[in-house]
Chain A
Amino acid sequence: MNTLLPNGFSDLEQFAEWALPTSTDRNRKRRASSMDAINAFYNAMRPRLEQILAYLDQFSLQEMPQDAQRLLFLSLSLAEVTIAVELFHEPKVTGGCDPERFVVAREITP
């Protein structure tokens, strides 16, 4: 069986669905998720974050093995859900406009 994430991070594989390559997709995933699901992801990732970043920093953004890139995407999803967890305590921006109206005109990838 192919492992989705690098060795040592297999406990995070249950969250593989958060490994999304674009900001728009990560934002949609956050808004489509329950706060319980978001908290479960945040609580699993947060204690591992420094370790994850140290692992990822062995590579350059442009030249990463696929499993490391998935881990990077997971960390970018953590950045996305952190706002829901640490600020709004709900998936959406309380009192915000429809997020789909913030149309991405350009962005760097990954």
Chain B
Amino acid sequence: MKTVMADRRWIKEHPDLGTGPVPTDTCTSPKLFELERERIFRRTWLNLGREEDLPEPGNYVVRELSVANASVLLVRGKDRKVRAFHNICVHRGNRLVDGEKGVCKGRFVCRFHSWAYDTSGQLTWVSDEANFYDIDKSALGLKPIAADIWEGFIFINLDPNPSETLAEYMAGMVQQIHGYPFGQQRLLCRYRVEERANWKVILDAQNEVYHLPFLHITYPDFCPMNEHKFSRIQKFTRFGRHTVYSVELNTDHKMKPVESIAITANPRGGQVHPSMIGWFDFYTVFPNFCMLFLAGTYVTYNIWPLAVDRSIWEVSMYQPATDKPSERFAQEYSRCLLRDLLQEDASNHEAIQASLMSGALSHFQLQDEEIQIRHFHKEVRRHIFGEENGAAAIGNSREAAELRLK
């Protein structure tokens, strides 16, 4: 076994993350939420799905990013390039496209005055054009948003001049994940769950395995455990803003009868790709995107803030593409299992948020197996306060002190 069971292991490799409690204020303060909007969600690269969501030229998707007050139109052009635009007619600001997705048969036409745009964003038609003054259609296309693709994942950046390219932003993850066969997987299902919880409460709850034997008591032996039956991860790695924790396969996991048949029926689902670190790798891609590689399958989370205490948790489950009924059965089993375990998590998220809103708990206490959460909150605080060192992130926050005085 590669997993080291010793206590207080990760802090030795990452002493800059500190050991003190972590403030809860970013989960409850509307003022800090406004800072997150401006300094995180309007300035970082955000995942909006995968290329397969837009398979053909003319396919489009509209995403309402209320956290950034933006409606984003993603469209694949005739040249097959995926572009992102503000979903706004440049004439007088009407929303250009209604509905979540569709196929553009030639042009997007604004219903207000019939201004029209092609799939590359060019303004191609202005009704009663001769009656305008010196209008130049070539200079008046849809307002572009920076968009780029990494391993088939579509990202946008609402900053008009992003300070980093997507590849720079992803840092060492690019090399780590390179070669993973995303193209051989397909979307099995996507859930959208609206929750009364801060986006970080949802993310934090997934960003550790300490809770598994307790909250998920009916499925307690997912991870290797030490002699006291406490879980231990195999590895924790940081890539700039992002992290991955990895878990080794627990060979002591006790299979139930149908589970065992399902595992056997989906052999590709059990294959660990060489780009993986453990048997289960959980990446937190700052700020709100998670990728969970679970042997030969993967799952993504996109956690979209709506307000300081409300979010949408989007869960997408990917499995090897198949036309084989027995594999389909096995994949359905995996889906039902994960969905139900996540329903246990979801009820917990809301309980936590309700407690935090009381104001009674100023700090979280985190142990060594929760070091990912420590890193994540440090990054959140670095972005919103510009705090460069770990001390400010883990001690009493100035913002919290100010708010308490009010």
Which secondary structure dominates chain B's binding surface? helix
Tell me whether A11 is interfacial, beta carbon within 8 Å: no
- Specify which of A61, A79, A103 is in contact with B193 (CB 8 Å cutoff): A103
A46 to B262, CA, bound (A): 11
- Within A1-45, which residues are at the interface with B (CB < 8 Å)? 23, 27, 42
By a CB distance below 8 angstroms, the chain B residues around A110 are 328
Q: A56-B325, A83-B340 are in contact. Are A46 and B257 (CB under 8 A)?
A: yes
Q: B258: which of A64, A86, A102 is its contact (CB, 8 Å)?
A: A86
Q: Is B176 an interface residue (CB 8 A)?
A: no
Are A106 and B189 in contact, CB atoms less than 8 angstroms apart?
Answer: yes
Which chain A residues in 65-110 approach chain B with CB under 8 Å?
A: 72, 75-76, 78-80, 82-83, 85-88, 93-97, 99, 101-108, 110
Contact across chains for B218 and A61 when beta carbons are under 8 A apart: no
> Contacts A79-B336, A86-B256 known; A103 to B189 CB distance under 8 Å?
no
Which B residues lie within 8 Å of A62 (CB)? 323
Question: Is residue B190 contacting chain A, with contact meaning CB distance below 8 A?
Answer: yes
Q: Is the CB of B187 within 8 A of A80?
A: no
Contact between B265 and A53, CB atoms less than 8 A apart: yes
Instruction: Give chain A's interface residue range (CB within 8 Å of chain B).
Output: 35 or more
Chain B nearest Cβ from A77, distance in angstroms: 9
Given A80-B332, A96-B343, A106-B189, CB of A57 within 8 Å of CB of B262: no
A108-B323 in contact given A53-B329, A87-B218, A101-B346 (Cβ < 8 Å): no
CA distance A105 to B315 in the complex (A): 9
User: A23–B191 contact, CB under 8 A?
Assistant: no
Q: With the chains together, A96 CA to B337 CA distance in Å?
A: 13
What CA separation (Å) do A62 and B324 show in the bound complex? 9
A60 to chain B, nearest CB (A): 4
- Verify if B259 is at the interface (C-beta below 8 Å from A): yes
- The listed residue (A59, A87, A95) touching B219 by CB distance below 8 A is A87
- With A and B bound together, what is the CA distance between A78 and B333 in angstroms? 8
Contacts A56-B326, A79-B262, A102-B193: A107 and B188 contacting too (C-beta < 8 A)? yes
Q: Is B34 an interface residue (CB 8 A)?
A: no
Known: A96-B343, A102-B343. A57 touches B326 (CB 8 A): yes
Partner of A97, one of B190, B259, B343: B343
B335 within 8 A of A: yes
For the A-B complex with A75-B325, A108-B187 known, give 18 more contacts whose Cβ atoms are closer than 8 Å.
A23-B189, A46-B257, A46-B258, A53-B261, A60-B323, A60-B324, A61-B322, A61-B325, A78-B258, A79-B258, A79-B329, A82-B256, A87-B218, A87-B340, A93-B343, A99-B343, A102-B193, A105-B191
Of the A-B pairs whose beta carbons lie under 8 Å apart in the complex, a sample of 11, sorted by A's number, is: A46-B257, A49-B261, A56-B326, A57-B325, A59-B325, A72-B325, A79-B258, A80-B332, A85-B258, A97-B193, A108-B186
